Amino acid sequence: MCGIVGYVGHSNAQQVIISGLEKLEYRGYDSAGIAVIGKNGMESAKFKGRLSVLDNYLKDHPLEGNIGIGHTRWATHGVPSDENAHPHFNQDKTIAVIHNGIIENYLELKAMLLEKGYQFRSQTDTEVVAHLFDLYYDGDLLKTAFKVESEIRGTYAILAIHQDSPHEFVALRCEAPLVIGYGKGENFVASDIPAVLEYTRDVAFLENGEIAHVTADNVVVYNTKHEVVRKQPFTVEWTLDAATKGGYDHFMLKEIHEQPQGIRDTINTRMDAKGYIKLDDIKLTKEDIAKFDKIYVVACGTAFHAGCVGKYAIEKLARIPVMCDIASEFRYQDPFVDDKTLVIVVSQSGETADTLAALREAKRKGARILSITNVVGSSIARESDDVFYTWAGPEVAVASTKAYTTQLVAFYMIALNLALAKNTINEKHYFELIDQLKQTADILEEMLKDDSREKEVAGLIKDKAALFYLGRGVDMQTAKEMALKLKEISYIYAESFAAGELKHGPIALIENGTPVIAVSTQSAMVEKMVSNIQEVKARGAYVIGIGCEGDSLLASVCDKVIYIPRVDDLLTPLLSVVPGQLIAYHTTCMKGFDVDKPRNLAKSVTVE
């Protein structure tokens, strides 16, 4: 999840690196640092806190040079502090190292290095890497990198520079993403594409076990056998503007408003001339599909909630049993996975460590892997048998919005494709659902023109200590996602419950004035939801309903109702979640918190 930028070329390294790190702030971090080699040798600066702390210092104490590395850290070993911030150095500060991931055998390496007289300044696992470079360095930085790689175990994206080699740096990759940016007389390595887009559109990804030797004029990549690997760069088509706020106050609000286009792009790129869904990156045949006796959906956080909606759609349309499992638990439960199982893994970044580990466990057991991700070339995409890219574009805000709705679209399209292959849906219903799915983009665009209702609700709940969400059927999954959005950015305690479970315990939490948001979009369950709402109303709850237009029954028992346009019950999660996103957004703004960078959270969770 840390931001990494390395540069060598003809420009001011400090400016390039700081600019690149700014583009990676969405990844979440607690400190920032930089090291540059110039005429004065190795110079560095690093501080706990926002990148602006480092940037302000550098304005008065600039680092001169044309090669350097920079880092934004999210703590895994050692508390956030200046000492624990990256880069880390050998004892005489001639070597600088930055690292994303976890060195699993750092304690034994540290013990070995201590015996050899090395001293440690930090509590991090990364510092052992700097001392290993010192231990093995014999004047050849690349050969040293090969030796260091043979000693370390774990997940890592590592960049290293040496004062005696002011024309080169090395990059090592294992499980944590690194992208090469190819320039003219300059080259870059970063943890994500936005960091280099200002300077180049030609990029390539490092694979596991590969090491890149980077100079201003060349990038040479080696595999685990130290053989040269020929990389074929590809051109990034989306613009840098796509990763900026575009006139909105926050990235999150911008991304909420980008959802209609994300839905259109995800659908329209996968329709053939006759109106059928064509899943170009999914090679499942009718025979493959007929073989599956079950499906597992595995994901974390918001992606898991999307998967739970996907379960509902697949079971309803394709009539295949679906189990949803949290990725961090999946591989420890000896799941019932074999060669008759389809495992669908979901990850916005395609780098989520727990989801990647679950993918590998399922693959080891013989399952077919289908991934839903937003990042082309990500680790999860590369290791899957089939891939559904959501085409949401860059999502910068930590709280996911457009990634979620495009993941829902992916599940609907996969469910329809499975259903048609299994003959569990007739063509009339198939095309009706596709038409309605297409229409949701226009409907959502119209909904987003007026968020006054959500602002009003935000004003009512912003000073509350807790808030509860209710739902039945697929609405229960929407309620879970709404609760997650509110808690992760506003820090209000928010919890969701299956409305029918209230009487089995949760209703004890309701007291006079407790705000409750009740999601009720499923036509067959409205009467049941009304009964549940009456139960919390009788205990003093203030109830905000979210339902479909024309539902007068819901309005009769709620204090306030936000209506969404009526669509097929199966598709309502695409629309009903948006009021929850906007309520969370406006509540957080009213409380004065940082909407895009909530505390303790990161965008791409690349450690377990």
Q: Which residues participate in catalysis according to the annotation?
A: 2, 603
DSSP state for residue 271 in the 8-state scheme: B
Q: How far is CA 101 from the centre of its chain?
A: 16
Asked if residues 172 and 156 have their Cβ atoms less than 8 Å apart, the reply is yes
Tokens of 608: 């377990």
Asked if residues 516 and 488 have their Cβ atoms less than 8 Å apart, the reply is no
Q: What gap in Å lies between CA 434 and CA 570, rounded to an integer?
A: 12
Q: What gap in Å lies between CA 354 and CA 608, rounded to an integer?
A: 5
* 155 phi/psi in degrees, rounded to 5: -110, 135
Count, residues in the chain: 608
Q: What is the residue whose two structure tokens read 């979901």?
A: 346
Asked if residues 544 and 517 have their Cβ atoms less than 8 Å apart, the reply is yes
Q: Which is nearest to 46 in space by CA: 122, 114, 118, 104?
A: 122
Asked if residues 322 and 274 have their Cβ atoms less than 8 Å apart, the reply is no
User: Contacts by 592-597 with C-beta closer than 8 Å and gap 24+?
Assistant: 593/489, 593/490, 593/491, 595/250, 595/251, 595/252, 595/253, 595/397, 595/399, 595/489, 596/26, 596/250, 596/251, 596/252, 596/396, 596/397, 596/398, 596/399, 597/25, 597/26, 597/28, 597/398
Question: What DSSP line would sit under 560-590, residue for residue?
Answer: EEEEE----GGGTHHHHHHHHHHHHHHHHHH
Sign of the four-CA dihedral 586, 590, 593, 594 = positive
Question: What DSSP line would sit under 213-224, residue for residue?
Answer: EEESS-EEEE-T
Asked if residues 48 and 100 have their Cβ atoms less than 8 Å apart, the reply is no
Helices (H), 116-236: 127-136, 141-151
Q: What is the residue whose two structure tokens read 């992606």?
A: 303
Q: Which is nearest to 73 in space by CA: 88, 89, 62, 94?
A: 88
Q: What gap in Å lies between CA 375 and CA 389, rounded to an integer?
A: 7
